[in-house]
Chain A
Amino acid sequence: MEGVEQRTEDGAGGVSPQPLASLEHWMSRYQQADPAAPDALIASISPALLRFFRYNSASREHAEDLLQETWLKIHRMRHSYRPGEAVLPWVYAIARHVRVDSYRRVRRIVAHEASADVLPEAVGRKDVVESTLQFDALVAQLPDSQREVIVMLKAAGMTVEEVARATSTTVGAVKLKAHRAYESLRTFLTSRPPQRTGKSEGAQ
């Protein structure tokens, strides 16, 4: 939960942080066109959303584009939020869909360029590979479905139940993916000492 509660940065335009419990309150106000509500929601949710996109193989620039696209969708779909329900699964279901759409779009473009004898760039991977943060580097090696679960749990601070709703699966399926992700992370950790970072690897 702290992932969403903690932000207060000026990066969000000087808006005070909103504790998670009040996200539902702000979402209802947003539906009633309260001008303060979008500010509060953007400040509370966006940094974690940005992390979600970055962990899921997006470069900073691509992640920002996905974030904008997500907010456009959130705005268009805001009537479909039912007051009293948890906001994060609703937001991440939309974000996840934006990410999948973007992935398909990029794949189509890359396939087109490949057919035109242009070498495709591995879109979005560069920043993750260059990351000096161990978690980023480790999580980038996980399969998509496991990474998504771990990132929602860690970067977004969601509970297993919330992740299950956001990904349209069951709690059991989320726990199974998390279990497999921990096994994979352990394997990566044993094959790669934990103290090493992207930078030091490059130096070596």
Chain B
Amino acid sequence: MNCADIDRALARQNTLPPDALTAEAGEHVRNCPRCRALLEVLSAPPSDSELRPELASAIREHIGRNLVAVRPLRPARYYASGFALIFLTPIAAGIAILRASGIAGMSAPMIAIVFGGLAVCGGLLAISLAAEMAPASRRLLPPAALIGGILLAVAAILWALFPYHPETRFWLQAAKCLLLGIGFAAPTAALAWALLRRGALLSPAVSGAAAGLLGGLAGVAVLEIHCPDWNVAHILVAHWGTALACAAAGLLAARRADPPVRTGPPGPVLR
């Protein structure tokens, strides 16, 4: 056993100061001054940090003045179901209101890949949004990574499945689809944001982007059902663009509503 093994053994421990080491590790520590010094440092009691009575009183006083009963958040699965419902509602509305010209021409595997992919992404976002509502919730992935991953995955699916062909009035058609997609996405994102605000958001900007993306994905689903234009350029600009635009708008709106860094120097809060 060498020093690196001791480091690994320490890193495997669940707490600090470290629990008892194995006999072999103990033997090494007894003979190695460097390891002994490291263990002494890690096992020493933490330095003294007394709480000043005036500070404790100030905090207690502030909390006492504003102490009212609150209802704790429900379990995360309850909110995840809520976000899933918010995601599915505009899609159902789109099917009811618009003609299903897009989906009508798709083969069964295409339908499975496009809508299966969107459903998985929507589900992951719903779970992630529910986790965002409470600090220290268990997460599948960091939210920012999930947002980036979903945008890339949806773009890859659409790029792989649809062919390219040149078309006239490309930008006009794209603008029409973009507006339609955003028309479905915006209320969805707003509803998701309203539900999110029932929790405690530590990173409102990222949560806003996730809420926007949830709406954007609902918009993409509606467009895939309705739009008969299978040109991959149109689909990426107008359909996937809806998701991207909504995620960006959600991020900016949340930053505006709740700026992450307030101006002014750091200073006493309660004194």
Are A and B physically bound partners? yes
Within 8 A of A (CB), among B39-95: 40-42, 44, 46-47, 49-53, 55-60, 62-64, 66-73, 75
Within 8 A of B (CB), among A44-65: 46-48, 50-51, 54, 62-65
CB pair A153–B135 under 8 Å, yes or no, is no
Within 8 A of A (CB), among B7-38: 7-8, 10-17, 34-35, 37-38
CB pair A38–B63 under 8 Å, yes or no, is yes
Contact status of A90 and B136, CB under 8 A, knowing A12-B56, A82-B75? yes
Instruction: Give complex CA distance A89, B134 in Å.
Output: 11
Contact status of A108 and B261, CB under 8 A, knowing A9-B51, A168-B139, A168-B142? yes
Contact pick for A183, options B7, B57, B62, B133, CB 8 Å? B7
> What does the 1/0 interface line of A6-47 toward B look like (CB < 8 Å)?
000111110000000000000010011101001100110011
CB pair B69–A179 under 8 Å, yes or no, is no
CB pair B47–A133 under 8 Å, yes or no, is yes
Interface size of B in residues (CB-CB distance below 8 Å)? 67
Q: Is B269 interfacial (CB-CB < 8 Å)?
A: yes
Secondary structure of the A side of the interface? helix
CB pair A35–B202 under 8 Å, yes or no, is no
CB pair B266–A89 under 8 Å, yes or no, is no
CB pair A94–B135 under 8 Å, yes or no, is yes
Q: Is B138 interfacial (CB-CB < 8 Å)?
A: yes
> What does the 1/0 interface line of A71-95 toward B look like (CB < 8 Å)?
1100111111111011001101110
CB pair B67–A35 under 8 Å, yes or no, is yes
CB pair B16–A154 under 8 Å, yes or no, is yes
CB pair A153–B134 under 8 Å, yes or no, is no
CB pair B72–A31 under 8 Å, yes or no, is yes
CB pair B38–A42 under 8 Å, yes or no, is no
B-chain residues with CB within 8 Å of residue A175 when the two chains form the complex: 11-12
Instruction: Give complex CA distance A79, B202 in Å.
Output: 14
Instruction: Give complex CA distance A153, B8 in Å.
Output: 16
Instruction: Give complex CA distance A56, B189 in Å.
Output: 37
CB pair A135–B41 under 8 Å, yes or no, is yes
CB pair B60–A72 under 8 Å, yes or no, is no
Q: Is B166 interfacial (CB-CB < 8 Å)?
A: no
Contact pick for A72, options B67, B136, B139, B269, CB 8 Å? B269
Q: Which size class do A's interface residues fall under?
A: 35 or more
Within 8 A of B (CB), among A124-160: 131, 133-136, 138, 150, 153-155, 157-160
Instruction: Give complex CA distance A191, B19 in Å.
Output: 26
Contact pick for B34, options A32, A50, A102, A190, CB 8 Å? A190
CB pair A194–B41 under 8 Å, yes or no, is yes
A-chain residues with CB within 8 Å of residue B59 when the two chains form the complex: 38, 42, 46, 67-68, 71
A-chain residues with CB within 8 Å of residue B44 when the two chains form the complex: 134-135
A204, chain B: closest CB distance, angstroms: 19
Contact pick for B51, options A47, A155, A157, A190, CB 8 Å? A47
CB pair B47–A135 under 8 Å, yes or no, is yes
Contact status of A9 and B52, CB under 8 A, knowing A79-B71, A135-B41? no
B-chain residues with CB within 8 Å of residue A135 when the two chains form the complex: 41-42, 44, 46-47
Can you show 6 pairs from A to B with CB atoms below 8 A apart?
A47-B51, A48-B46, A51-B47, A80-B73, A85-B136, A159-B14
Question: B residues within 8 Å of A by Cβ?
Answer: 3-4, 7-8, 10-17, 34-35, 37-38, 40-42, 44, 46-47, 49-53, 55-60, 62-64, 66-73, 75, 133-139, 142, 199-200, 202-203, 260-262, 264-270
Besides A28-B72, A42-B63, 19 more A-B contacts (Cβ < 8 Å) are A38-B67, A39-B60, A47-B50, A50-B51, A65-B267, A68-B270, A75-B63, A79-B70, A80-B73, A97-B135, A131-B47, A136-B47, A154-B17, A165-B137, A165-B138, A168-B136, A175-B12, A179-B7, A186-B7
